[in-house]
Structure 1
Amino acid sequence: MDNSKTYLKNYIQKGNSFSAYLKLEKVDEDSGKNMYREVMSPAYVVCSIAILKVKVGTASYYNSYSYDYTATNISHVSFKFSKRIKDSLNCVLKLKIGNSTLTIASTESSGGFVLAPVSPSVSDLESGNVKVAGVIDIFTVPSPSSALYDDKDLIDFSLKGIDGSVDVHRHIMAASSPVLKAMLTGPWREAKQGILDLKDVHISTIQHLKDYIYLNKVPETGLDELIKLAHFLSMTTLVKICVFHILTGLTLENFMYWNHFAAVNNISELTPWLLDFVIRSDVTLGITDIISSYAVLNSQCNEGNEEKISQDA
C-alpha cells in the first residue's frame, strides 16, 4: 500500500504573494520491483481566485541482492495553476522553487502540469526544506493606446469630476466602455459638448481610470471609488481587476467595510468573493444576515468550478 503524500507546509499568504515549504512524506516501499510514483498535493487557494497544485514524481530501484532500495530519486516536480471560476481573470503566477524560477499563466495550465526547472533531493523534500514562493498578478497585454497617453494635439473630450477634469480621446473612451460609446455616438449632451460631468467622482479617480484605459495600470488605493465608476461605465474587466486587488488586501479588519460597501453600491461582482473569504477563514463573525446568505452566495461563487476546492495549509 502506498501512503505517499506531498503538500505545502507552513503556507503563508500576504496580499498577492505566498510562501511555503514543499514536503514529501516518506513512502511505503513494496519489495521485489522497481517503482515509479506520482504524488499529488491538495489544492491550495491562491488570492481567492486561483488554485495551485503540486505533483512530485519519484523513482526507486530495488536491489534484489541486498533486499533493499538502493536509490530513490526525484524524477520531476511540476505545478498546476488554474482559475477557480471559468470566467474570472486570467492570471500569472511567478514561482520561485529553491533558486529556480517558473512563470505559469492560468490559461496555459488548464491542460496539465508545468515542469519546474529544479530537481530537489529526496532528503530535502522529506524534511520539508524546499522553499516555494510565488506572486500572482493579473495577466495584461500592452495597450495600443499608451502612445496617446500624453498626447495633447488630438484631445477632443474631457471627464469632469468634483475637483477638476482630465482630458482624453473620445474614440478611446468609446472603445473602452459601452456606456461611453452610447453617450458619444447618440444625440446626447456629452457628445455635443465634449465633456462628461461625473459629479460624485474625484479627479484622482478619473486619472486612475485613464491610467487603466491607456496603460492597463490599476492603483493600490482608491479602489472603492474606482470600482463604482467602472461599474457605472459597465467596464466589466476593470471591475474584476478591482475585485482582485480588494481581495489581495482583504483582512478580517476591513471585511465589514467592503461588505457594507458592496451592498450599498450594489457591486454584485464583489459580494460572493467576500463571503467566500469568510467561509474559508477560521473566524466566525456571528452576523446573522451574512450567515443566512452563505448557501446562496457560495453557490454563485463556485459556479463553473472544475473541481471541489480544498485547502491543507
Structure 2
Amino acid sequence: MELHQVRYFLAVASTLNFTRAAEQCNVTQPALTKGVQKLEQELGGQLIYRERQLTQLTDLGKEVLPMLERTAASAEAVRRRAQEFQRKEVAPLKIGLAPSISASLVLDPIAEIANCIPGLHVELREGVAEELVDLLLEGEINAAMVGDVRDVPARIDDWSLFEERYVVVLAPTHRLANRPSISIDDLRETVLLERVECDVAPKIQQSYFPEEPPNRGHCSGHDLHLQHMAAAGFGVILAPEHMPRLPTLKTIPLEGDRVSREVRLLAVQGRRYSPALDAFVKVTRLRDWSVVVRTVSTALGHSRSTRQTNPLP
C-alpha cells in the first residue's frame, strides 16, 4: 500500500467523482483510477462502485475509510514535523533523571536554552542509573543526570557536575527536629522512609549500617508521597540536599564524616549532537553548580534557625 493510492481513494470518497478527484490530486484520471485499483487489489476487495452516473463506496470501502483517513493524517503529521525539524522550529530534547535527581536541577538550564532555541521541546524520563545508560545507548534519551553509577560503558561520556551531601528530612514536630545534627545512633532509633529504586538508601546503608540494616518503615516510588508521610510523623527521609521539599518539613545534616555523592551528566560518546542537546551539554557543564548547592544550604540553614518546633515525646 502506497500513500498516493490512499490519497487517491480518499479524494474519490470525498467527491464521489473520478474526474474531480483527479483534479484535486493533480493527476490524470487514468492514473488515479489505476492507483485506486491497485489499492483494491492489495486490500482484496472492491472499494468503489463505478457506474456512469453513480459512484458510491462499497461496504468494504466504508469500513476502511476511517482507518485510511487516519493513515493519511498521520503521514501528513509526520511530514509537517519533519519540515519543522529541518527548519529548526522543533528541537526535541529527552533527558533522563535518576530517582534521586530532582527535575528542579534542569529547569534553569532548560530555560536558558529555550531563549536561543524557540522550538525546544523537552521530555523528562525517570529511571535507575543503569536503565538510563541503556536508554542512552538505544537512542531513547539524549542525556541523563545521575548520582552514583557503576561500570559506565566506554561509549558513554561522563562529566562530574557537583558534589552534594545527604541530609535528614523530617517534620518540625519530630523528636529529632531540634538537633544541630543527627548521629548514626539517632538513625538506628528512628524509622526511615525509603524511596523505591533510589541510590540514597544503599549509599547510607554502606556508610552507616554496614552490618545491620536500618529500621525501614514505609516506602514509595515518589518523593512527594514520602514527604507527606514524614510531615505526618511516620518517620524521616534520607535525601540529597538539593531535593525540593514541602515547606512544612525541615532538614538536618548527618553527624560525623560527610556522606555525599557526585551528580553526573551522561551522553553517548561520538554521537552527533542535535542543537538542543549540544546546548544542554554546554550549559550544564559550564553552569556554576556550587551556587545552586550553596543557595539550597543557605535556605536550609535559615529554615533551621527561624522555625519554632514542638518536639514529639
Please tell me the TM-score bracket, short chain as reference.
under 0.3
Normalising by structure 2, report the TM-score: 0.21
Structure showing greater radius of gyration is 2
Query: Of Structure 1 and Structure 2, which has the larger fraction of its residues in strand?
Result: 1
Q: Looking at both structures, which has the greater relative contact order when contacts are Cα pairs under 8 Å and sequence separation is at least 6?
A: 2
